[in-house]
Amino acid sequence: MRGGSVSRILPLIACLLALPVRAALDPTLPPAAASAPAAAGEAAPAPLLQAILRGPAGARAVIGGRSLAVGERHGDWRVLAIRARSVLIERQGQRSELHLSQSIVTPATRSPSR
C-alpha cells in the first residue's frame, strides 16, 4: 500500500467511526430520561401532553411525540378522554389526568391604539 492511498482511506475510516456518535447526539430525539424504560420496582414517569388537536375527524392528543385518539394505547396506558386542556389516561387500572402547560402568550385585554 502506498502512502497516498493510506492518507485517503484514513479520513473515510474516521468518518465511519464517528457515525454512531453523531446519531447519539440527534437533537430531534426526545431526552433519554423520557424514552428510557423505568427500572424494576420504579414507577414509570407520567407521559408528557404536548398538544391537543381538533379537526373534522375528531380530537387527537400528542403525548410523548405520538398522536393518539380516544381509545388508542401507547405502551401500558390508554387514552380515555380528550378535553379542552387536558387528557384522561389509564395505566394499570389507575386513572390520571395530563394537563397542557400554561400558554406562553397571553391574550391582549384591549385593542392596540392606532
Considering the domain 46-99 in this protein, what is its CATH number? 2.30.30
Report field, pTM of the whole predicted structure over 0.75: no
Of 4-18, 50-64, 68-82, least confident by mean pLDDT is 4-18
- The stretch 4-15 carries a mean pLDDT of 71
Reported as a pLDDT band with limits 50, 70 and 90, residue 13 is confident
Cα-Cα-Cα-Cα dihedral sign, residues 23, 24, 25, 29: positive
Per-residue model confidence as pLDDT tens digits over 17-34: 666 555 555 555 555 555
Cβ atoms of 64 and 34 within 8 Å: the answer is yes
Contact 93, 104 (CB under 8 A): no
